[in-house]
């Protein structure tokens, strides 16, 4: 969601509009892939759960078509910018981006974006799947920011130049519905506020010319309870349980979705490519349901009765190590990510008789892969995820579930 900043793909795309077409740019990509998982019918965040009788599949993970339109004034300054992007797979067609932005051209530091676009939180959420070195975003990113996009408005404050240090600072502040694209409409009047303060890629001479970018993000939101019952983890008798609160005051009360995060990306260029390290950490309070820690796309209902909401303290994050092999065409990827949806309990203390479910389980994922870029329009990816859930007192989760997955993907883009 950056402005005219040629250090990133968005900026390069806008620049190509000006230089080549002066108005319109059309782009897209498709990602056919084959996957194999450890057990038939396994649940996975590597592109969706497998069917009950299948442990392998061909699928079209993504098929994107994007159109960018820019309007320039007589001084060749951008005045407005419009994007729409569709995703088509064997499962159907859906909107991915549908937003517009207008710029002020007196100070050249303000822009306002409205529509359906990526939430300005964290690095991985905003990293395009066309450029990402792993097949999917981490479990935490997918759960907290399902589908990545939301409907709202965002003010961006940053210079369109990057010569001085203060021109490398960028601030985004947005107001959104909250549930994103996971539901057809907003189910309460409460709006979520998201902010991000970031440093654009900057050369650090003290580190031998390494390129550093970093940011801190905040999310202040929630879900309005439509039930008189709320649940949260409380200490009782020397141990934590999922405690029921049935106060009448809970109806209409805001159940929290409050996150704080920080991330950095540090790359060391060399003559034959680069070495890059990335890290991100997020913690806070998440409100969801009994069976899942994902933000519900529609308000949960069972037998025409509104379900209670569950609030949990969580943390999660990831680390990337990226290394080119002899050239920028060959890349080794090592990744570790974790998500602990309930920091109050762990291991055998997570038991059904205490009110907990699989939504309270911590997962650790170790990923390793190889990426080969054949040319500017063709990329191959071979990636293996070792997924480990904590051993608990829940039936079926007394030990690690078999859900390791291998992905072989081809990406065509134009």
Which domain CATH number covers 277? Answer: 2.40.160.10
The answer to whether residue 101 sits within a structural domain is no
The answer to whether residue 79 sits within a structural domain is no
H or E element: which one contains 346? none
- Half-sphere exposure for 296 (CA within 13 Å, toward CB): 22
The answer to whether residue 88 sits within a structural domain is no
Q: Can you tell me which residue has the tokens 């981006």?
A: 97
User: Residue 184's closest CA among 252, 100, 286, 116?
Assistant: 116
Residues 313 and 233 sit within 8 Å (Cβ to Cβ) = yes
Q: Can you tell me which residue has the tokens 């057809």?
A: 184
pTM, 2 dp? 0.91
The answer to whether residue 249 sits within a structural domain is no
Q: Tally Cβ neighbours within 10 Å of residue 36.
A: 14
The answer to whether residue 12 sits within a structural domain is no
The answer to whether residue 331 sits within a structural domain is yes
Q: Tally Cβ neighbours within 10 Å of residue 6.
A: 14
Domain count, the chain: 1
User: Residue 328's closest CA among 281, 394, 375?
Assistant: 375
User: Three-state SS for 253?
Assistant: coil
Print the domain residue range for 215: 26-62+107-223+256-413
The answer to whether residue 117 sits within a structural domain is yes
The answer to whether residue 238 sits within a structural domain is no
Q: Tally Cβ neighbours within 10 Å of residue 262.
A: 16
pLDDT tens, position by position, for the chain (414 residues)?
A: 444 444 455 555 555 655 555 588 999 999 999 999 999 999 999 999 999 999 999 999 999 999 999 998 888 888 999 999 999 999 899 989 999 999 999 999 999 999 999 999 999 999 999 999 999 999 999 999 988 999 999 999 999 887 777 789 999 999 999 988 888 888 898 999 999 999 999 999 988 889 999 999 999 999 999 999 999 999 998 999 999 999 999 999 999 999 999 999 999 998 889 999 999 999 999 999 999 999 898 999 998 899 999 999 999 999 999 999 999 999 999 999 999 999 999 999 999 999 999 999 999 999 999 999 999 999 999 999 999 999 999 999 999 999 999 999 999 999
52 phi and psi, to 5 degrees?
A: -55, -30
- 203 burial level (CB within 10 Å; 0-12, 13-18, 19+): exposed
- The Cα 113–Cα 96 span in angstroms is 15
User: Three-state SS for 14?
Assistant: helix
């Amino acid at each position: 969601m950056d402005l005219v900043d040629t250090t990133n793909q968005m900026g390069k795309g806008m620049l190509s509009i000006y230089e080549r077409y002066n108005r319109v740019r059309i782009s897209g990509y498709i990602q056919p892939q084959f996957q194999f998982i450890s057990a038939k019918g396994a649940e996975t965040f590597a592109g969706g759960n497998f069917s009950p009788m299948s442990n392998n599949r061909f699928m079209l993970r993504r098929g994107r078509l994007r159109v960018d339109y820019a309007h320039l004034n007589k001084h060749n300054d951008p005045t407005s910018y419009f994007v729409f992007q569709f995703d088509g797979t064997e499962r159907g067609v859906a909107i991915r981006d549908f937003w517009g932005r207008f710029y002020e051209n007196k100070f050249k530091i303000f822009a306002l974006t409205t529509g359906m676009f990526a939430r300005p939180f964290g690095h991985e959420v905003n990293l395009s799947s066309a450029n990402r070195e792993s097949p999917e975003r981490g479990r935490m990113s997918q759960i907290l920011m399902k589908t990545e996009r939301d409907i709202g408005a965002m003010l961006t404050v940053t210079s369109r130049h990057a010569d001085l240090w203060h021109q490398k600072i960028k601030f985004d502040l947005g107001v959104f519905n909250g549930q994103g694209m996971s539901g057809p409409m907003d189910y309460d009047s409460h709006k979520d506020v998201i902010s991000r303060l970031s440093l654009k890629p900057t050369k650090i001479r003290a580190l031998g010319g390494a390129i550093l970018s970093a940011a801190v993000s905040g999310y202040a939101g929630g879900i309005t309870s439509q039930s008189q019952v709320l649940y949260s983890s409380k200490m009782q008798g020397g141990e934590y349980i999922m405690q029921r609160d049935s106060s009448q005051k809970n109806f209409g009360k805001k159940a929290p979705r409050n996150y704080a995060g920080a991330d950095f990306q540090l790359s060391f260029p060399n003559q034959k490519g680069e070495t890059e390290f990335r890290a991100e950490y997020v913690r806070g309070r998440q409100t969801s349901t009994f069976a899942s820690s994902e933000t519900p796309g529609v308000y949960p209902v069972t037998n025409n009765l509104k379900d209670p909401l569950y609030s949990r303290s969580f943390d999660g994050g990831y680390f990337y190590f990226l290394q080119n092999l002899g050239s920028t065409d060959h890349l080794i990827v090592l990744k570790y990510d974790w998500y602990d949806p309930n920091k109050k309990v762990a291991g055998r203390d997570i038991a059904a008789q205490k009110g907990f479910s699989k939504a309270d389980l911590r997962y650790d994922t170790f990923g390793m892969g190889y990426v080969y870029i054949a040319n500017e329009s063709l990329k191959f990816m071979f990636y293996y995820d070792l997924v480990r859930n904590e051993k608990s007192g829940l039936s079926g989760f007394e030990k690690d579930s078999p859900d390791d997955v291998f992905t072989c993907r081809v990406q065509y883009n134009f």
